Copies of this chain bind each other. A is one copy, B any other.
């Protein structure tokens, strides 16, 4: 299979797995796909440990790293972590504690201050340097335009730089910035997302690239959970598929079993594009968490304030959910796309890759059968 992505990043099959879990990254690459470790929440030391583990467990197959934290980097340098935390209104702190209290959880767990550290504006650069000490084949920038130092570092090391976009206008900025690969993510995808759907965004971005006289491959993201969809996106001109949600329902994933079971039960209408987790619109599994904030009539705080409140509380909720607390099981949620409605069972990441390959061929045959 002479896939363009095989030449660029060395994978057998252009199925990209974005995951915060090293086990998923290694399993996908070993099966012929391409794992990309989301490293945004790691310190340089932690990332070093993760990448060392991946190197030891990936059988020499290629992988990539997603390294940037643009929002934190964009914080005004003169603002201290304490000042950021002090900007969270008391009403919001109280309501977060109330959510936990109603689930019978210790209010202490709601202290929204544990995660607030002095912003490290050089963290992205440090993570990049750690990554280049490992045999990474791709660097990805998850949010915002890839900065010049990233593009330059990629060129210096001969490693392609990928960037995620949710709108044609963002793709045009990435083209100008000089990225090597564009990941075009439709609004049905999990996590931070725009509003334009995948099948509209892909041709729109391909057209923008053509109009700019550029030659940049586009990976399709948003809603893709199987190989027939992947074949469909490649018929439209994509060079491969970039998936996140599908790996969350695998045995290797960082998700807990209560959440995985919620994924199996969910339909495509059980997600919500909400600001009530990070402060920006991101698609998540709809849960009691969103219902309570909506009922309270409290609009989301901006990023990073909403995250500083929500993440510690949701970690407490996750732990309680796993321990069997039914109210916490109602509240627990995570970033996931509409494709969750296509999850029928929890399986291994390697099996998902095999299923994709088989379904990809079936997708091709669907089309070939019509043209025979």
A residues with CB within 8 A of B: 1-3, 167-169, 186-188, 194-201, 203-204, 207, 222-226, 228-229, 231-237, 267-269, 337-339, 341-342, 344, 361, 363-364, 366-372
- Of the residues B204, B236, B341, contact of A231 by C-beta under 8 Å: B236
| Chain B contacts for A269, CB-based, 8 A | 167, 194-196
Q: How far is the CB of A291 from chain B (nearest CB, A)?
A: 17
Contacts of A197 in B (CB 8 A): 186-188, 197-199, 222-223, 338
Could you write out 13 A-B pairs with CB less than 8 Å apart? A1-B371, A2-B369, A168-B268, A168-B341, A188-B199, A196-B341, A197-B222, A203-B226, A207-B342, A232-B234, A236-B363, A364-B368, A364-B371
Q: In the complex the two chains form, what is the Cα distance from A337 to B233 in whole Å?
A: 19
Residues of B within 8 A of A167 (CB): 267-269
6 extra interface residue pairs, beta carbon distance < 8 Å, beyond A199-B223, A367-B367 = A3-B370, A167-B268, A187-B197, A232-B236, A235-B235, A236-B366
* Count of identical protomers in the assembly: 2
What residues of B have a CB within 8 angstroms of the CB of A223 in the complex? 197, 199-200
Contact partners of A195 in chain B: CB under 8 A: 269
Smallest CB-CB separation from A198: which chain B residue? B199
Instruction: Report the separation of the CA atoms of residues A320 and B2 in the bound assembly, to the nearest whole angstrom.
Output: 56
CB neighbours (8 Å) of A199 from chain B are 186, 188, 197-199, 222-224, 229, 232-233
Q: In the bound complex, do residue B268 and residue A235 qualify as a contact, i.e. CB atoms below 8 Å apart?
A: no
Contact at A2–B370, with CB atoms within 8 Å?
yes
Q: B228 contacts A342, CB within 8 Å?
A: no
Chain B residues, Cβ within 8 Å of A233: 199, 232
If A196-B338, A197-B187, A199-B223 touch, whether A363 touches B370 (CB-CB below 8 Å) is no
